[in-house]
Structure 1
């Protein structure tokens, strides 16, 4: 898909999506890539939460000690009111980390206050961007796929297959992955992958995914055939799309 990609030659135009379309895209992403709906925590939220809890405690304790001394006088009532005020302050501090818990992984990639841009390319390829940074793409109205850089941040976004060492050079040249490369000793082909499933292509001995592809047949069919194309490669490390760090609006 991106073996030969040029912004000057292959890009038709870029624009910001309407709010209604953005909502549709967000819902589709959450449905197609379940990890995006998982809770995400900001570092600032976790570090800011603990100091907030002990703050009301010192204010509440002295007031409780003063109540027996002042008895039922007006001062005592004032102390009680002060104590209630301390409790209210504590309730206001606690919800802060709860907001962070409600954040989703998708919110880290695409904050809700940021518009989503789309860059339309030839061959009906759509690249979705936030602040000009590509995060997802798809072909026509097909499934959404993360960019490889996003996949490296969130490896669990896609199911994994693994090719053996001998197939790495072919992957980095943009060739489709053949069944023997997945069925050999260094390869890994999980059970249950359906035809047309989008997968992360890992390589033997490498930490991060080297490419993204589409299953040309199910896991069972590939094992049964033992030959032929197993994964149609969409993009890979080092292709023109990988080199593209910003595009569009």
Structure 2
């Protein structure tokens, strides 16, 4: 699909989608890729910074109480007023922190779903239409998903590397790697050999991540031409139609469109 893709020549138009269209696409993505509904991961390294802030605030309290006890009556009132002022200031800071947790960046990172981390609700979804009825969906010009005709939404390989469990996995043996990286479809023997893996229960046309024996990350993405049971029964012929792979022309694109 992206073996000979040139953004300068193959892009026909680029636009920012209407809100209603974006909502429909978001709903379709959540239905097609259930992984996107899972809670996003929050980096625990933020905890020490919060503890550090608490440690800085704590010593201030004794200083405020000591000042009025040794001063004059007027000074005591002044100190009390100052204490009240600081109390209000702290309340404002607490409220600000709470607002940031509820709707700020920290809140999105900690409590949102994966889809919100990939595509924040405040960000517009861009559509870049290409030749051969290929649509590429972007956020801040970064390609995230693509679609051929009215087919399923497929994550880019770079996005899949960020979220390896987004798609079900199949695995090819070492001998099939060079063919995959040349854009060839994957044959059944490469999945059914000792170095290959084909899980049960996968349906025809299901989008899968293509892993390779001895490699950490997926090397490509494809669609099953038949169910896993049918592929195992036939044990020959094409098993996975490859749609993108490491090194293809989409892999080389960092930004595109608006």
TM over 0.5: yes
Distance apart, 1:82 and its partner CA: 8.9
CA 1:213–1:122 in 2, change beyond 3 Å: closer, same or farther?
Answer: same
Question: Is 2:225 the counterpart of 1:216?
Answer: yes
8 Å contact kept, 2:40–2:117: no
Question: Is 2:143 the counterpart of 1:143?
Answer: no
CA distance in 2, matches of 1:157, 1:102: 19
Cα deviation digits, residues 118-148 of structure 1 (max 9, x gap): 1111221100112222111111222111111
| Residues 111-190 of structure 1 aligned to structure 2 (within 5 Å) | 111-190=120-199
SS in 2 for 1:41: coil
| Residues 41-120 of structure 1 aligned to structure 2 (within 5 Å) | 41=42, 46=47, 48-53=49-54, 92=95, 95=98, 96-97=100-101, 99=107, 100-120=109-129
Aligned alpha-carbon RMSD (Å): 3.2
SS in 2 for 1:136: strand
Cα deviation digits, residues 9-58 of structure 1 (max 9, x gap): 32211111111111222222222222223224368865654345556655
Question: Is 2:255 the counterpart of 1:246?
Answer: yes
CA distance in 2, matches of 1:62, 1:167: 72
CA distance in 2, matches of 1:83, 1:246: 48
Distance apart, 1:237 and its partner CA: 0.8
Consecutive unaligned residues of structure 2, counting only runs of 5 or more, are: 67-76
SS in 2 for 1:231: strand
Q: Which residue of 2 aligns with 1:197?
A: 206
CA distance in 2, matches of 1:169, 1:198: 21
Cα deviation digits, residues 90-125 of structure 1 (max 9, x gap): 964774556242233223322332221111112211
8 Å contact kept, 2:146–2:156: yes
With structure 1 as the length reference, what TM-score do the two structures score? 0.82
CA 1:127–1:85 in 2, change beyond 3 Å: closer, same or farther?
Answer: same
SS in 2 for 1:119: strand
Consecutive unaligned residues of structure 1, counting only runs of 5 or more, are: 66-74
Distance apart, 1:194 and its partner CA: 1.0
With structure 2 as the length reference, what TM-score do the two structures score? 0.79
CA distance in 2, matches of 1:170, 1:144: 25
CA 1:55–1:238 in 2, change beyond 3 Å: closer, same or farther?
Answer: same
Q: Which residue of 1 aligns with 2:31?
A: 31
CA 1:120–1:87 in 2, change beyond 3 Å: closer, same or farther?
Answer: closer
